Amino acid sequence: MSDSKKYSLTEQLLFPSTHVNQEKLRNAVAHKTILITGASFGIGEQTAYRLAQTNVTLILVARTYEKLNQVKINAEKLGASVEIIAANLTNDAELNSLIEYLKNYENGIDIFINNAGKSIRRSVFDSLNRFHDFTRTMALNYFAPVKLILTLIPQLAKNKGQVINISAANVLLIPAHNSSAYQSSKVAFDQWLRCASPELRSKHIAVSSAYIPLVRTRMIEPTKAYDHFPAMIPDHVAKIVCNLIITRSRKHKPWWLIFSEIGSFLFRRRLEIIMENRNR
């Protein structure tokens, strides 16, 4: 089924259908090993299924073993070789255990898809006694992927591999209302990766960032305001990830994001005043 059949008219305009050339994808990932974090639900799960239809080895990481194991079963039915690791990447012991496993992985990792993430939408006034709102988002959205990439660099350089970061469109825009924990952590990793990219590319490691808008996953379910917002479906994002693997492009952005970026620059002060007034 095409993407457009799953979208409202507004969503069809904002998120035009994406096509993946299966032959090119198979050629791009044949006999390669791909690591996906946050692989048990949403974008990670659908990306695993898309890639499973090729001759590929998948290493899937997520917190929930039972759901991760079901993804493994489904992906293996599609033809992939799948290994799963249940790990909470905000837990130092579990993250370090994953790192030790990856260090000793035979032939190394070819592609790392950084998808795991934590979202939170809360006023700073509601976080006065919740410093963990910030430590947890930074742990998963920033420190974990940095530590994983530092571990994988020798393997990725040897294999002329690729890092794909599932970022958020709003990291390129004016800071969002009630998003100090989430947006700052996503911006931090996006900036780190952009700083590291020239060095990584000098060693033939491709770096790709997918600046994705709102996606209809369980991550946004606690925020009821998002129920009425246009949102992408996870499989559509999975197709975008597959095309980044094929092309090794540096970035993907929605066609309309450039206008939002210009608006954020030209009307920044006015937008800040609007947000200030909403909090009064």
What dihedral angle (degrees, nearest 10) is formed by the CA atoms of 60, 44, 197, 232? 180
Q: Is the pLDDT of residue 98 over 50?
A: yes
Which range among 124-128, 228-232, 251-255 has the greatest average pLDDT?
251-255
How confident is residue 138, by pLDDT bands cut at 50, 70 and 90? Answer: very high
Verify whether residue 49 is a known catalytic residue. no
Please state the φ and ψ torsions of residue 209, each to the nearest 5 degrees. Answer: -120, 125
Q: How far, in Å, CA of 3 to CA of 207, rounded? A: 26
Helices assigned H by DSSP within the chain: 9-14, 22-29, 42-52, 65-77, 92-103, 132-138, 144-159, 180-202, 234-247, 257-266, 268-278
Which pLDDT band holds residue 1 (cuts at 50, 70, 90)? Answer: very low
The domain segmentation of the chain, as residue ranges, is 13-278
Neighbours of 45 (CB within 10 A): 26
Indicate which residue of 7, 142, 182, 211 is catalytic.
182
Of 3.30.70.100, 3.40.50.11540, 3.40.50.720, 1.10.3720.10, the CATH number of 13-278 is 3.40.50.720
Average pLDDT of the residues in 119-130: 89
pLDDT in tens, 139-168: 999 999 999 999 999 999 999 999 999 999
pTM, two decimal places: 0.93
